[in-house]
Amino acid sequence: MIPPRSASPRILLVLDTFKGSLPSAQVAQAIAQGLTLEAIPPDSLTILPIGDGGEGTLDALASHAEPIEIPVRGPDGGAALGRLLLRGRWAWIEAASACGLGLASSSALTGRTSFGVGQLILAAVERGAREIVVGCGGTATLDLGLGLLSALGAELTWGPPAPPLDPAPPPHDPQLAPAQSPLPRSPLAELTALDLRPAIAALAGANLVAAVDVDNILTGPRGALEFAPQKGAPEASLPALLADIDRAALLLDQAALAASSPAQPRAPRCSEVPGAGAAGGIAAAILALGGRATPAFDEVASRLGLDEALERADLVVTGEGRLDATTWRGKIVHRVLSASRGRARVWIVAGQATGSAVDRALAEDAEIILTLVSDSGEVGESIASPGARLVRAGRQMGRALRGWAPREG
């Protein structure tokens, strides 16, 4: 039961980044502008930017500390500016700042590296951090964190280059089809052994945490491979890539056990821990080093005081760029809906939304769902300049609030 509160609603704006468009704080600010244009008092609004480990999360956490920029190696081997946040002996690293999708050029997925993330971890250790949380979202890599491990000093042994993969023959007459080039194999196919002990020593006793936004394990078709197509992997390369991932994962598990000690035990199979497949396997590498995986939302929400903010709210406005089936796999909208149940009413703003996702949100007690686009032809425009549409959504909410009455149950 939601207890009755003030006649003038206290509104908490807690929105995810609209990926490729606006960070969470700017999304919330645009909606707040629309609300105030409809005479909603500004002092009734609370903006709580949040994130689930990907782009924008570090900015959401940076209310009491300035992010530090560190020159690192980007996913394609070029220069990048990695970002970390340091508060006392606690550090947050934004993996996407070192190997995010926005930094990747047209290079093949299999040639990209997480080396820069390892450089950020070393930078945090050098600055005295003892608990280092790596936000595992928005990355362009699928190297199982081998680049990260290499940057920390792990010894990786490579065999001869794997032979190219011949693509499957086309289903129609091959004489009429253009010739297809062999597909390059992943460097994972060349890994023969790795020693994690130098990397563990480089951590100097610091604890690593992988803040993940998915629960995929590392191996199998529903592991890290599930995200390969959205990172640019050709469909025809997936069977061989799956075999390469599973093989390298076995070597990673063996190395983790070899580095295990009574003081620092490892899971028997790091690759099978839920979340190990996050960030192209970066989470698995952290687990192999003796770290742990935790839902990024929980880590961030705890740091930002979401529970306390919900206790003071009558209405929660949440949202993301696209409301779809993946929303219900622990993303911010789903988690905010769950956390608000029995406390406050929930309205949702989304760039786009599938019909099934809207139905589920309504079934889970969301009251209003507003989308920024009404058809696919508006998607590009909405992504390029969403601000005016978000202000308009805020105004719609403001008008709907004119008849506000606290709900008693």
Indicate the pLDDT class of residue 2, thresholds 50, 70 and 90.
very low
Percent of the chain with pLDDT over 70: 87
What span, in angstroms and rounded, lies between the C-alpha atoms of 150 and 187? Answer: 14
Q: What is the DSSP string of 327-345?
A: GGTT-HHHHHHHHHTTT-E
pLDDT of residue 21: 76
* Top-confidence residue, 17 or 358: 358
Q: What is the DSSP letter of 22?
A: B
The residue with greater pLDDT, 383 or 69, is: 69
Q: What is the mean pLDDT of the chain?
A: 88
- Whether 398 and 37 have beta carbons less than 8 Å apart is answered as yes
CA-to-CA distance for 155 and 108, rounded, in angstroms? 24
Q: What is the pLDDT of residues 263-292, one digit of tens each?
A: 777 767 899 999 999 999 999 999 999 999
Q: What is the pLDDT of residues 322-350, one digit of tens each?
A: 899 888 877 899 999 999 999 999 999 99
The larger pLDDT score, comparing residue 166 to residue 80, is at 80
pLDDT category of residue 375 using cuts at 50, 70 and 90: low
With CA atoms as reference, report the closest residue to 255 among 288, 298, 296: 288
Residues 6+ apart with CB under 8 A from 44: 8, 9, 10, 11
Is the confidence at residue 383, as pLDDT, over 60?
A: no
pLDDT attached to residue 176: 44
> What local confidence, expressed as pLDDT, does residue 338 receive?
94
What's the pLDDT at 66?
Answer: 82
Lowest-confidence segment of 65-74, 183-192, 357-366, 394-403 by average pLDDT: 183-192
Residue 384 has pLDDT above 90, yes or no: no
Query: Is the per-residue pLDDT at 243 higher than 90?
Result: yes
Mean pLDDT computed over 338-367: 94
- % the chain with pLDDT above 90: 68
Q: Which residues of 33-68 are buried (b: 16+ CB within 10 A; e: fewer)?
A: bbbbeeebeeebbbbbbbbbbbbbbbbbbbeeeebe
> DSSP characters for 294-319?
EEHHHHHHHHHTHHHHHHT-SEEEEE
What confidence tier does 110 reach under pLDDT thresholds 50, 70, 90? confident
Question: Please, which residues have CB within 8 angstroms of residue 93's CB and are 6 or more apart in sequence?
Answer: 82, 83, 84, 85, 117, 120, 121, 124, 132, 133, 134, 135
The span from the CA of 194 to the CA of 216, in Å, is 23
What's the pLDDT at 281? 97
Question: Would you say 284 and 271 are in contact if contact means Cβ atoms under 8 Å apart?
Answer: yes
Task: With cut-offs at 50, 70 and 90, classify the pLDDT of residue 405.
Answer: low
Checking if the pLDDT of 177 tops 50, the result is: no
For residue 23, the model assigns a pLDDT of 84
Model confidence at 165: pLDDT above 90: no
The predicted pLDDT at position 178 comes to: 45
- Per-residue pLDDT at 44: 95
Q: What is the pLDDT of residue 3?
A: 43
pLDDT attached to residue 108 = 85
Cα distance between residue 152 and residue 130, in whole Å: 16
- pLDDT computed for residue 183 by the predictor: 56
Identify which has the larger pLDDT, 31 or 161. Answer: 31
Instruction: Kindly list the structural domains of the chain, giving each domain's residue range(s) and its CATH number in brackets, ordered by start.
Output: 11-48+305-403 (3.40.50.10350), 57-164+184-298 (3.90.1510.10)
Rounded to whole angstroms, the Cα distance separating 121 from 132 reads 7
pLDDT bracket for residue 161 (50, 70, 90): low
Q: Are 326 and 81 in contact (CB under 8 A)?
A: no
pLDDT of residue 219: 97
Query: Tokens for 325?
Result: 């089936």
> What is residue 11's three-state secondary structure?
strand
> What length is written for the chain?
409
Residue 355 has pLDDT above 70, yes or no: yes
